[in-house]
Amino acid sequence: MLLAIGLMTGLILGLTGAGGSVFAVPLLMLMAGLPITDAIGISLGAVAATTLYGSARNLVQKNTSPVLWKPGIILASVGAISAPFGKWLGLQVNELWLVSGFSLLAVIIALRMWLSATKNPDAASVVRAGNFTQIPSPDALCTLSKSGQFELRPRCVSGLLIGGLFVGLLSGLFGVGGGFLIVPLLLALSAVSMAQAVSTSLVIIALISTAGFTSHLVFADTIPWHLLGLVVTGGIIGMVIGQMISHKIANALLQKIFAVGLLIVAITTLLRFL
């Protein structure tokens, strides 16, 4: 069962570039019967391992879009700092409130996925592939140089700092990677391609999830390593499959299916604890 949960999480990560980790926590609770604190810890560890593998695989492949290192490092650094605080905050909250908060977040993510697929269906087919040349928008907080790199300005850095802080808190609190926030944030800050945003988000998720999992090791009494190993194994296998078939099946309809599935899982998880 845990292997299947990891497989599903990694597959969704591979097919969407973001949003897959939010399935892990409710599935671990519903299908494996784990309490939410254990589910969050295992989710963080599995997402960290899966995205680290995915990032390494992308970096050695020549046909993937380049990672935007400047904004990526800023977002990841701030998120890695705030993730432990999010984990600590989660330990202070009643389990019912934590489940309710997670379910609300999952519903918001599901609605955003659906709206994104409806308004911009072409973007749903862009998953860790393709290079695009785009002219920077004059209204963007971060402009691009002729070489395609971010030109960091005070307003741009402020946006990255605030975004990284928020992503890190959510990662530590709920065990999510934060790709659902990182991708639109990068797209909003400057006129980068969807492929660049997805590739960069994978690296950021890997680093923030690693920090969140490390904080879980500090706060938790025991770690079910055997359970984590199964989820990680399934996650990496799912990531491999997802990245292999993403260019064939990734589209707006698939994203809408994921959105509906996430909505059902979120509501089911909340009803179980009411």
92 burial (CB, 10 Å; 0-12 / 13-18 / 19+) is exposed
Phi-psi region of 222 (alpha: psi -120 to 50; beta: other; left: phi over 0): beta
In the chain, the number of structural domains is 1
pLDDT above 60 (res 115): yes
Distance CA 204, CA 212 (A): 12
pLDDT above 50 (res 138): no
List pLDDT tens digits, range 198-236. 778 888 888 888 988 888 888 877 778 888 899 999 988
Distance CA 190, CA 196 (A): 11
CB of 99 closer than 8 Å to CB of 185: no
Query: Can you give the pLDDT at residue 165?
Result: 93
- Confidence category of residue 136, pLDDT binned at 50, 70, 90: very low
pLDDT above 50 (res 130): no
- Confidence category of residue 144, pLDDT binned at 50, 70, 90: low
Range of the domain at 244: 2-273
